[in-house]
Structure 1
Amino acid sequence: MKTSKLSISFLDLKGVDFNPEKGYSLDSDDIIIYTIYLPNFSDIKSELVQFLNSIELKRVKRFYKEIDKDRFIIYRSILKLILAAYTKLNIKNIYLDYDFNKKPYLASHPWLHFNISHSEDFAAIAVSRKKVGLDIEYMSKDFNFTSLLPDVFNDNETEIIQNAIDKKNTFYTLWTRKEAFVKALGKGIDEDFKFIQCLDGEHNLDFSLIKNSQNWQVRSFDLADDYLAAIAFEGLPTTPVNIHLYNVSHTIFDLLEMVK
């Protein structure tokens, strides 16, 4: 039976302000994560919306709440700016295609892998030459996750959550790991989600589960106060990887510098 390796652990990752002078290039071992604190961009929303095409503008109108419309405008426009910076395309020529699981990709630049995640006031975008999946979650104080446990986790994982000192943190840590991994695989959440490994350590994965023979890593990290995140990517633990976490500037001048 075909198996692949999955390595899971925590990563001490600190966000720093991005310096545009460093340029936009990716080595084979680079994973760049951009964080977007959405409230900071409200004042330039009217400028950012100009980067959206007609299909994206129709999607904006489908949101019921104004805050959801604003958030989509901000993180979608910044995603397009980032993709334009790495591909050297005009932002007006950035068109996202979607696979059968609705995972976005750039047909014009298949070497550029990216993934986006949004939760409450934060969005984050990962770019790499490796296949990547990213999940961020706000650890809501009011969310009762207990009823989800039997459908999402196996018995061992459920017991670990129930016996944890900080049950909420443990739940979100394990959830973001599963979510990031299935996003990297392009699977989405399906009936196999419960069987995706999410505990620290080295795991063997059956080909029948992930339909993939590559080796993978998942790393958890703290995004901000009350926000947890996980990044999943191709490779063994012995494979060199450089993961950087950058805070996106909220001035329109700096954003436009990305695509000059």
Structure 2
Amino acid sequence: MTSAHHAPSFDAAGLCPGLYEVSLPDGVPPGTRVWRLDLARASGWREQALALLDAGERQRNARFIHQADADRHALSHAALRCLLGAWLETPAGGLRLSIGAGGKPFLAEAAAAHFNLSHAGGHALIGLSSNHAIGIDLEVIDPNRPIGSLASMLMSSEERACCGTPCSPEAFYRIWTAREAVFKAWGSGLRDDLASWTMLPLQGDAELGVSGPGPMPGPTRLWELSVPAGHAAALALLTLPG
């Protein structure tokens, strides 16, 4: 197995159908890569995907009521395993993924192999980083959701101001994906005090503008990602001690 402290420099072509590398914005540090999985293109790979999952993942997959949700779970988690396996030069099906206290998966065998997964609609995003805790979020921009009411309940006054009046769906999801990505990078999951935090995505190579009722676990930076029309996505990286 190669050292996870080195940048993941493998070629992902051919690992699974429908997997495309995402071009990252300027300023994202070396050692971080992101892929998009087109779930429709990967749909014929379902049986192979299920075979790569461990027993716990297959049990969770069997609990989905709707087949589309089960397929999305199987395909995206199997693609994650393929990417991690290629990075670490180990069989994808043999990786042991565990769940941390905040609900974030991690690899017990390779503590420096940081990864995150998000899926929405017909796509999934998978991010790997060799030297930062990573959080990634993908959302479908749904103009029919009551985003004005959600912003009033869940966002700070500064964030609501950025959403405009009436609340812009694009701006709402831009901020919402930023929040999700940051909390996932921190490994804390969404909190009950969301309206007490302000997380505004800054452009370019800059640290995240963030304030809230508690300390951050470390310097955190945020970028928007280029994704298919009708979606919003964000990448957050947390600098780790040492």
Q: Decide which of 116, 131, 134 is 1:132's aligned counterpart.
A: 134
Aligned partners of 1:227 and 1:53: how far apart in 2? 30
- Residue 32 of structure 1 pairs with residue 30 of structure 2: no
CA distance in 2, matches of 1:108, 1:49: 22
Secondary structure of 1:223's counterpart equals coil
Show the counterpart of 1:209: 214
Q: Distance in 1 between matches of 2:170 and 2:93?
A: 41
SS at match of 2:170: helix
Which amino acid counterpart does residue 187 of structure 2 have in structure 1? G
User: Is 1:227 the counterpart of 2:231 in the alignment?
Assistant: yes
Give the one of 132, 153, 156 matched to 1:154: 156
Equivalent residue, structure 1, for 2:18: none
Matches within 5 A, 1:86-105: 86-105=87-106
Residues 109/225 of structure 1: CA separation in 2 closer, same or farther (3 Å cut): same
CA-to-aligned-CA distance 1:86-127 (integer Å, 9 cap, x gap): 112222321111111110000110011000001111101000
Structure 1 runs of 4+ aligned residues shifted over 4 Å read 17-20
RMSD: 2.2
Aligned mates of 2:210, 2:171 — CA distance in 1: 22
Contact residue 177 and residue 231 of structure 1 kept, 8 A: yes
Map 1:41-120 → 2, pairs under 5 A:
41-120=42-121
Cα separation, 1, equivalents of 2:190 and 2:210 = 20
Separation (CA, whole Å) in 2 of partners of 1:91 and 1:30: 20
Asked whether the equivalents of residues 98 and 105 of structure 2 are also in contact (C-alpha less than 8 Å), the reply is yes
Counterpart position of 1:256: none
Asked whether the equivalents of residues 185 and 210 of structure 1 are also in contact (C-alpha less than 8 Å), the reply is no
Runs of 5+ consecutive residues of structure 1 not aligned to the other structure: 1-16, 21-27, 236-260
CA shift, 1:216, in A, is 1.3
Bigger RCO (CA 8 Å, 6+ sep): 1
User: 1:190 and 1:47, CA in 2 relative to 1: closer, same or farther beyond 3 A?
Assistant: same
Q: Counterparts of 2:236 and 2:93 in 1: how far apart (Å)?
A: 30
What is the SS of the residue equivalent to 1:110? coil
Match of 1:141 in 2: 143
Q: Tell me: CA distance 1:18–1:79, structure 2 relative to 1, closer, same or farther (3 Å).
A: closer
Q: Following the alignment from structure 1 to structure 2, what is the Cα–Cα distance between the partners of residues 204 and 134? A: 17
The answer for the alignment partner of 1:170 in structure 2 is 171
TM-score (norm 1): 0.74
Quote the Cα distance in structure 1 between the aligned partners of 2:234 and 2:86: 24
Distance 1:87 1:78 in 2: 14
User: Cα offset for 1:217?
Assistant: 0.6
Structure 1: distance between partners of 2:52 and 2:215: 36
